[in-house]
Amino acid sequence: MDVDAETAAALGWPKLKYAFVERERRWLCAAVPGARVLSAEILTDLYVTGTRLRLRTATPVGGGEAKRRLARKADVDAATRLITSIYLSDAEFALLVGLPGKTIVKVRHHLAPVDGVAVSVDRFEGDLRGLILAEAEFESAAQMAAFPTPDFALREVTHDPRYSGGSLVEHGVPA
């Protein structure tokens, strides 16, 4: 789906040039396919109460400098959203990290590409421990529609809103 200016404006984006269109599918998994993992990072996401804002710290597993950013998301549909992101300095992050909200921690495993598509698998920690979700991002709606379910996935949950980050942080792992 292409996002037109009218849809963007309805979601709070007066100019599309500041938004990135994310096309994503998600799958529930039983395990991380370890042999396919190329790298991993620990993601700590603060979902700011009453907003579409997410404050993220991404720390490479095994060492390296953490990256911090503030993102705003709005769903166009279950698989397509608009995102704007701002990378933050340590001082900027420190100013915002005290905002009210709820936090999700997960380890994101970046896999070798599947049919030329970048795929990652998130293993959640804390209250969401035990939940493992794979996601793939696509350049076009046609590429997204043609992509097969990965062989390590149990079932697709793209269209199940209970598996969105905002729902998971509010309601926990779906029964």
Tens of pLDDT, residue by residue over 41-94, are 999 999 999 999 999 999 999 999 999 999 998 888 888 888 988 899 999 999
pLDDT mean across residues, the chain: 91
Question: Looking at per-residue confidence, does 2 or 80 come out higher?
Answer: 80
DSSP type of residue 16: G
How far apart CA 34 and CA 25 sit, in angstroms, is: 20
Does the structural domain 5-171 have CATH classification 2.40.320.10?
Answer: yes
Token readout for 44 is 């700590």
Token readout for 127 is 């209250």
Residue 16: which pLDDT band, with cuts at 50, 70 and 90? low
Provide the residue ranges of all domains of the chain, joining segments of one domain with +. 5-171
Mean pLDDT of all residues in 20-25: 90
Structural contact between residues 93 and 19, judged by C-beta atoms closer than 8 angstroms = no
